[in-house]
A and B are shown apart, each in its own frame.
Chain A
C-alpha cells in the first residue's frame, strides 16, 4: 500500500490551455474525492465517485471541469480553457469506509496548478 498518489505534483500553464490531473487512490478504496484548496484555506469539495459512478458534483465544478473514473480505479480531473482563478492546489482523497472510526479520508500530496 503506497497511499494515494497524484500526478503531476506541479503544473504551470498559460491561460486558455487545457490541463489534466491524475489520482491513483489506495487500491481497495471504493470512494474517491476531488477537492480544490487555495492558500491558507480549507479544501473545498468538487466531486466524488463511488467506484466508477460520479455521484455528486459541487456548483464549483463549472462546465470547464470534468472528472472521470473509468474503471473504478484511478481518476482524472480535466480543466478546459484554464483561467487565472483556477490556480490552486487540487487534492484527491480516497475512502474505504465506514471503518470503526467512521469515514476516514486519505489524501494525496496534491497537484499545484499555476495559470499564468
Chain B
C-alpha cells in the first residue's frame, strides 16, 4: 500500500490540451516534490513545495500544495510532446524518508 495515490494513472492527450494530475494522501508531509521520469532513466526533480497552500509556476507547469499539506496537484497548460513521461509525486516526512506516489504516465500526441 502506497502512502500517496496519484490520478489518473494513465493520460493520453493531444498537443495543446491542458491537463491536471492529482496526488492525494491521508498523511501530512513536511514537503512534497514532483518528478518527471523518462523510460530507462532516473526521476528528475521538477519542484519542491513546502508551505500549505503554496503555488509554484514553472513556465507551463503549475504546482499546488494543499492547505493541509496532504495533497498536491500538477497542472500543465498547452501540453507538448516533450512533456511525455511518468510524473511522480513524493512526500517527505521530516526529511528522512520519501514516499513516492503511484505515478501518472502522460503521453502527448503531436
Contact = CB atoms under 8 A, between A and B. Distances in A.
Interface stretch (A12-20, A36-44, A59-67, A71-79): A36-44
B97 A56 contact: yes
A47 B88 CA distance: 19
Interface stretch (B11-19, B75-83, B99-107): B99-107
Given A40-B86, A107-B43, A102 B31 contact: yes
A102 B92 contact: yes
Interface residues of A, number: 27
A21 interface: no
B42 A98 contact: no
A20 B54 CA distance: 42
Contact of B42 (A45, A102, A103, A109): A109
B4 to A, nearest CB: 8
B110 interface: no
6 contacts: A42-B102, A43-B88, A44-B2, A103-B98, A104-B45, A107-B43
Given A45-B98, A102-B30, 18 more contacts: A40-B86, A42-B88, A42-B100, A42-B101, A43-B43, A43-B100, A44-B2, A45-B99, A56-B97, A91-B43, A101-B31, A101-B48, A103-B92, A105-B98, A107-B44, A108-B42, A109-B41, A110-B40
Interface of B: 2, 4, 6, 30-31, 33, 35, 40-45, 48, 50, 86, 88, 90, 92, 95-103, 105
